[in-house]
Amino acid sequence: MAKAKIFIDGEHGTTGLQIRERLGSREDLDLLSIPHEERRNADYRARLLNEATIVILCLPDDASREAVKMLSDAGNTTTRVIDASTAFRSDPDWAYGFGELEPGNREKIAQARFVSNPGCYSTGAIALLRPLVLGGLLPTDYPVTVNAVSGYSGGGKQMIAQMENADADDHLAANYFLYALTLKHKHVPEIVNRSGLTRDPIFTPSVGRFAQGMLVNVPVHLDLTHKANIASIHKCYADHYAGQNIVEVVSLEDSVSAVRLDPEEMRGTDRMKLYVCGTAGTGQVNLVASLDNLGKGASGAAVQNMDIMLAG
């Protein structure tokens, strides 16, 4: 059987490099690549886009839209697309590349021609919110707050250089900082759309002085839910994610006894852990997702989606 041809459009960016590294030793794939001397050759790029079985777009939003248009303009109806930008994450015509989102979503990815890869923060937030909305425990208009911290690699090559090069003019000396304080972060529409909320959350992302890793935290007042408690929320997660090995629901005993959580816990993996923290009877619960922002939060998810699509 012929090998699937995979073209990573934008392979020299942070996400693209990570995908390339994951696929480099795969003997079942034929990796297409633009030679360095042809990197500005639009015709060469178009040829690879149209030749690929699956193209993985690791580009800014406008460049991703351009690549999809190039396929359309060429009359291409066969090349399948995984897009890692935010361009299509709320588009109903694109399958959402979070296989564990809800029953049947993995099958949608398997059959889709166009798949939108989730954002890193969004992956954690939606993993916590979607099961509760589906299970009827969280009202869709609940005033959700999402707090999150990511490793600086999530900011791409520019932020990596700002953090690691002390001699740079734009060096970032802070060990930790909040951003997107205008409450206009690009992941908010995706979180609302894919979790099933009808009200925008207050989302406060932050960056720490570590390269990879992420914690996403959703605190919940139980008196504002549909009679949820710590045990029923944990059971909802356990039931929702049963039968797969990507999302691990940490036992309720280990969750409520946790003293601190390390954002680098899942560094180097393509999996995610969910914690249901708090004390029974207090009327509050702390929901936490732990993942690698470049693993399940980006490149790892893209490879997972590619494998689902190839398996059909």
Q: pLDDT at position 36, please?
A: 78
| Architecture of the domain spanning 4-118+298-311 | 3-Layer(aba) Sandwich (3.40)
Write the pLDDT tens digit of every residue in 37-80. Answer: 887 888 999 999 999 999 999 999 999 999 999 999 999 999 99
Q: For residue 112, is pLDDT > 90?
A: yes
List, in order, residues 6 or more apart from 288 with CB less than 8 Å away: 128, 215, 216, 217, 218, 261, 274, 275, 277
Cβ atoms within 10 Å, residue 261: 16
- Would you place residue 168 in the very low, low, confident or very high pLDDT band (cuts 50, 70, 90)? confident
Phi and psi at residue 286, to the nearest 5°: -110, 115
Distance of alpha carbon 116 from alpha carbon 89, whole angstroms: 5
User: Mean pLDDT across the chain, nearest whole number?
Assistant: 95
**Three-state SS letters, 9-31:** ECCCCHHHHHHHHHHCCCCCEEE
Q: For residue 137, is pLDDT > 90?
A: yes
Do 125 and 193 touch, CB atoms closer than 8 A? no
Least confident of 29-33, 155-159, 257-261: 155-159
- Which residue in 308, 312, 311 sits closest to 82, CA to CA? 308
- Which residue in 296, 303, 304 sits closest to 265, CA to CA? 296
- Which residue in 272, 266, 263 sits closest to 304, CA to CA? 272
Q: pLDDT at position 152, please?
A: 94
User: Could you write out the DSSP letters of every residue in 80-121?
Assistant: EEEE-SSTTTT-TTSEES-TTSSTTHHHHHHH-SEEEPPPHH
Distance of alpha carbon 58 from alpha carbon 88, whole angstroms: 13
Q: For residue 1, is pLDDT > 80?
A: no
Q: Domain extents for the chain?
A: 4-118+298-311, 120-294
Q: pLDDT at position 46, please?
A: 94
Q: pLDDT at position 197, please?
A: 97
Identify the bridge partners of residue 210 per DSSP, sorted by sequence position: none
- Would you place residue 231 in the very low, low, confident or very high pLDDT band (cuts 50, 70, 90)? very high
Q: Is 190 exposed, middle or buried (0-12, 13-18, 19+ CB in 10 A)?
A: buried
Distance of alpha carbon 263 from alpha carbon 286, whole angstroms: 15
Write the pLDDT tens digit of every residue in 257-271. Answer: 999 999 999 999 999
120-294 to CATH, choices 2.40.170.20, 3.40.640.10, 3.30.360.10, 1.10.3720.10:
3.30.360.10
Identify the bridge partners of residue 221 per DSSP, sorted by sequence position: 284
Helix, strand and coil percent figures for the chain, each rounded to 5: 35, 20, 40
Contacts 24+ apart (CB under 8 A), 254-257: 256/230, 256/280
Segment 105-124 mean pLDDT: 97
Percent of the residues in the chain that have a pLDDT greater than 70, as a whole number: 100
Q: Highest mean pLDDT range out of 14-18, 34-38, 125-129, 167-171?
A: 125-129
Told to judge if 120 belongs to the known catalytic residues of this protein, a careful annotator would answer yes
Distance of alpha carbon 51 from alpha carbon 278, whole angstroms: 52
Same fold, 4-118+298-311 and 120-294: no
Q: What is the pTM of this model?
A: 0.95
